[in-house]
Amino acid sequence: MPYDPENVFAKILRDEIPSTRVYEDNEFIAIRDVNPAAPTHILLIPRGDGPVSPANLGDPDAAWVGRMVVLATQIARQQGLEEDGYRLVMNCGRDGGQSVPHLHLHILGGRALHGFG
């Protein structure tokens, strides 16, 4: 599936849709989810016309995806989630729960998160 520059995250990245940003740098932004699944629900979004989903990742993406995961743990720590724990989620495709065709990582915490592994 080709990248759609009109997806909601692309519009947020261009400031066409307002968001509550908790972090940003030249590679990523982190925003509060408008429909949170946990008391703390932050979306970490890479800038640019990046991969549509994790299925589009390859070996050349390893370094920036690694930075994305490290950044997610730093944001979780800043949000006070480290002591009790948190979940990092990257959905892939419709059946995997991906609703926006722009790769992103969910940071979830603030309560017990059961149901997986």
Active site residues: 104
d(CA 89, CA 109): 11
Would you tell me how many other CB atoms lie within 10 Å of the CB of residue 105?
22
Tokens of 44: 């970490």
Could you tell me which of 89, 65, 87, 90 has the C-alpha nearest to residue 76? 87
d(CA 81, CA 87): 9
